[in-house]
Amino acid sequence: MEAHSSEVFVIGLTVFFLACIIGYYVVWSVTPALHSPLMGVTNAISSVIIVGAILAAGPQGFDTSKIFGLIGVVLASVNIFGGFLVTYRMLSMFKKKTKKTKEKE
Amino acid sequence: MVAILYLISALLFIFALRGLSHPESSRMGNIFGIIGMVIAVFTTLMFKSVLSYYEIGAAILIGGAIGSFIALRIEMTALPQLVAAFHSLVGLAAVFVAAAAFYDPVAFSIGKVGSIKTASLVEMSIGTFIGAITFSGSVLAFGKLQGTISGKPIVFKFQHLINALIFLLIIFLIILFVINQSPTIFWTIVIVSILLGFLVVIPIGGADMPVVVSMLNSYSGWAACGIGFTLSNNLLIITGALVGASGAILSYIMSKGMNRSIINVVLGGFGGEQDTSASKDNSDKIVKQGNAEDAAYIMKNADSVIIVPGYGMAVAQAQHALREMGDILKKEGIEVRYAIHPVAGRMPGHMNVLLAEANVPYEEVLELDEINHDFPMTEVSFVIGANDVTNPAAKTDESSPIYGMPILDVEKSQSVLFVKRSMATGYSGVDNELFYRDNTTMLFGDAKKMCEDIVKSLSA
């Protein structure tokens, strides 16, 4: 954190572009049939901003920042639980069928 | 140590997406995602500055309970709304985190109140801007998908000019904010961005929703990225970029499915006013109507049937009845497959999930590229709740608004059964000449009811 802010920014930018490239290749490999679960998962993981909300809510005592942080934690938690659960529900539907067909065969 | 744990968490998120390359590996992927999130949260809780465990724990429990309740109760047909609603929360959370960082910069080591580092201020306001747009855009998309607000595109004069001006205003506000760090300007940015989010989604119509939902998905990722830059947190940057890329690719796939550029969809207003002008001289043409028994008879005597579902199937919740129909046909030794157009439904992969819910084996559900060359060898195409995606005008009529859109070649099969509520045109407002062909039989009625009646006739 103590490094020059421009340096930190360049590191961040490096990480950003590399992550975009990884994202590009990983997402193209997702089968179109699972595009809805993909939205569910990305929705859940984008709520990783809960990390920032926790940092804001962290200090003891109550001030504006902490209240914002706690609201952020609640909102992000709705998404994290909701996103992963709904994805789980979708994916388990894709499972049931395979078992059934295999049994039939 | 923290950086390493965050890295592990980021890698797990990448594996979570990678898992979705196949249904078999996808569930493991989801578990990787959950583990990654748990690591991220616990790592953050271990920070020395984080002390208020009870409040944070309570907040997580409240949010978690709400999220779980909704996720477990939601009908699969309502998925698009749910996803839109969730996106709005990500956007709102981003705004709150940015606000928190602005009010207590010390907690994030980005300076002191009134003298926050310039770079952090820029990143913070960009995160806020994208977050607020995601929030209001998603709320409106939710309203349109839920039916609370009309799905019709709302277009008015100088729309694009107004949006452009508002965008310039926001840039100006951001510059002002960086200079004087005033809370008033911060909240003005939030409010103006919220307004812009509404204005951006307002002209976009119901059937373009797959693109909008994917775009908002993308925005929610970029918002997380913005916050990641503000906090110099690589985990947020990586995850935001993954989500942003994912949403962008989905938007691209969806727009390609309609042969329209993303810009064209974003500018919106498609299919609004030309509704009446497009359906012209077809009143004198003869439509062959049939009932459930005719449909049952036609399909029973075929070797192969391809089912083409569309949004109408979702609206009527016909997927279970449809699967039952497919099962009976399969028992008769008829080859039954499903053809999915990329933009069928209201979100990417919508039809696949609904068919999966109805226990249709995913091997029988094929994408446009995989199945399109099979239509000439197919006896019956059973189109249920789809229209524009089968319209041959997309290939032949250069003046048609849907010209150039890839379509499912149902016209090439020996006969076509169309389940529709009425002769109304599809979303594009274009008449479908297929309805008037000799080998087409129209089955008017509710999709679910029709499937149930066909099932009855088949088993009789």
From B91's Cα to the closest Cα of chain A, the distance in A is 9
Residues 6+ apart with CB under 8 A from A88: B27, B30
pLDDT in tens, B59-102: 999 999 999 999 999 988 889 999 999 999 999 999 999 999 99
Burial class (CB in 10 A: 0-12, 13-18, 19+), B350: buried
B86–A82 CB contact, under 8 Å: yes
- pLDDT > 50? residue A99: no
- Catalytic residue among B104, B281, B327, B388, which? B388
Q: Which residue in the set B37, B107, B109 is minimally distant from A1, CB to CB?
A: B109
Residues 6+ apart with CB under 8 A from B249: A24, A27, A28
Predicted model pTM: 0.88
A55–B71 CB contact, under 8 Å: no
pLDDT in tens, B290-327: 888 888 888 988 889 999 998 889 888 899 999 999 99
Integer Rg of chain A from CA: 20
What pLDDT was estimated at residue B267?
66
A45–B352 CB contact, under 8 Å: no
Buried b (16+ CB within 10 A) or exposed e, B132-157: bbbbbbbbbbbbbbeeebebebbbee
- CA-nearest residue to A3 within chain B is B232
- pLDDT > 90? residue B128: yes
pLDDT in tens, B21-59: 998 899 999 999 999 999 999 999 999 888 889 999 999
CA distance A55 to A40: 25
Nearest to B82 by CA among A90, A25, A4, A65: A90
pLDDT in tens, B239-297: 999 999 999 999 998 888 887 777 777 666 554 434 433 444 555 677 888 888 888 88
Burial class (CB in 10 A: 0-12, 13-18, 19+), B188: middle
Give start and end residues of each alpha helix (H) in B258-360.
262-267, 275-278, 292-300, 311-316, 319-331, 350-357
Nearest to A39 by CA among B157, B140, B20, B190: B20
Q: What is the mean pLDDT of residues B185-200?
A: 94
From A3's Cα to the closest Cα of chain B, the distance in A is 11
Q: What is the mean pLDDT of chain A?
A: 85
Structure tokens at B42: 């616990």
Nearest to B34 by CA among A86, A23, A57: A86
H or E stretch including B256? helix B234-257
Angle (nearest 5°) at CA B138 between B134 and B141: 145
CA distance B15 to B258: 31
C-alpha dihedral (B110, B116, B120, B125), degrees to nearest 10: 130
What pLDDT was estimated at residue B426?
67
In chain A, what's the furthest Cα-to-Cα distance?
64
